[in-house]
Amino acid sequence: MSKKIHIDGYEIYLNDNDRPDDHYHYVCEIVINKHFLGELCRERDPNIFELDYNCQKECIEAGIPLEIINKAIEEGKKCLLELADWEKEQNEMELFDDLLEKDPELTKLHYPTSLEEGTAKD
């Protein structure tokens, strides 16, 4: 027998023979990534990470243990931190590319460990 839950427009079927890990992946992928990621990215504060009451209620009613839901929230925090770090790196790279177009000499400042001209061995 399977249970059906609705989360953010997604119909999710959980089978009674699913392992708890399967439930965890459903919660983490659907609830965290789809339901909260956009809003939390706009907030830019991964510490503000509260599970929507109705969504939490549906997960609990579907038989997903609160421990699994909380674990998914923690994983979601990590996901957001990694995303924020990745976006920061992308922004830095784009900024450097813009500066490099204006002044190609910037590569010498950006790569201080590169071999200086004339020191490379043939």
In a domain, 43, yes or no: yes
AA letter at 1 = M
Closest CA to 46 of 87, 88, 7, 84: 84
Instruction: Report the DSSP beta bridge partners of residue 2.
Output: 15
The whole-model pTM stands at 0.35
In a domain, 50, yes or no: yes
In a domain, 75, yes or no: yes
Rounded CA-CA distance 36/30 in Å is 9
Residue recorded with tokens 């209620």: 57
Task: Give the tens place of pLDDT for each residue, 16-51.
Answer: 555 444 444 455 555 544 444 444 433 444 444 444
In a domain, 51, yes or no: yes
Name the domain count of the chain: 1
* Largest pairwise CA distance in the chain: 73
Inter-residue contact 25 to 34 (CB < 8 Å): no
In a domain, 74, yes or no: yes
